[in-house]
Amino acid sequence: GASSSSNSSISPRTAPNCARCRNHALKIPLRGHKRFCKYRYCGCEKCRMTAERQRDMAHKTAQRRAEIQDKERTLCVGEIPAPPNHIQVSSGGSSNGQPISSPTNKSTPTPDVHIDPESSNSSIIGVSSSPRKYIHPINGNPHIVEQQLMQNDILLEKSHQLLEKFNYPWELLHLMYTILKYSRANIEEAARRIEEGQYVVNEYSKLHNLNMYDGVEIRGSNRQCG
């Protein structure tokens, strides 16, 4: 009896399992699995609630770290005290379709592109024809980096929802992400822009006798009977 109690006291804590897989009746250890979880962008009710809890916990952890750093750190020449509550992330930020915002985001603003919905060629306004390598801005503040990662997770979750809404293949996830980003994470606005694009392409195809699936002109002879 004594030996069993001593063994139980020194036994390591059971490794945690993936919460999202658990929502779907699967038991998979979390270690090394998180980035490869097939339910990472799942939009079911249970996984949405799990994501809310995870964002709330990450926010609280980041805030505790910031408070400890503020107490222990001595300001150097040329520095000013950090603003109070400088990480303002709401756990419900993703439910109302609005992006998560913070005063510290001013140092790394998200580029905004204005697209006029009344213009038939609005989809190509401000887009260069030459390929351009995107360079992600790097910010040295770990709290800002953590917040940006949380924002990316929200955008990717909503991008997955758009794929399901329009029955698009997985390969278009990056396009859904881009549309959502320039729609300020508003999934309804992103869906409206996609539907508008579909309408414009359909009308253009009808006007110019084009097959919208392969871009090949539909010859008049092919449409004639007999």
Compute CA distances 199 → 112, 127, 202, 203, 204, whole Å. 24, 20, 5, 6, 9
Q: What is the DSSP letter of 221?
A: H
What's the number of CA atoms in the CB half-sphere (13 Å) around residue 125?
A: 12
Q: Judge whether 139 and 107 are in contact, CB under 8 Å.
A: yes
Q: Which domain holds residue 184?
A: 143-208
Query: Looking at the predicted structure, is the pLDDT value of residue 128 above 90?
Result: no
Separation of alpha carbons 101 and 220, rounded Å = 55
Residue at 161 is within a domain: yes
| pLDDT band at residue 140 using 50, 70 and 90 as cut-offs | low
What CATH number did the domain enclosing 198 receive? Answer: 1.10.8.10
Residue at 56 is within a domain: yes
Query: Looking at the predicted structure, is the pLDDT value of residue 145 above 60?
Result: yes
For 1-18, what is the mean pLDDT? 60
Residue at 177 is within a domain: yes
Residue at 47 is within a domain: yes
Separation of alpha carbons 183 and 97, rounded Å = 10
Residue at 85 is within a domain: no
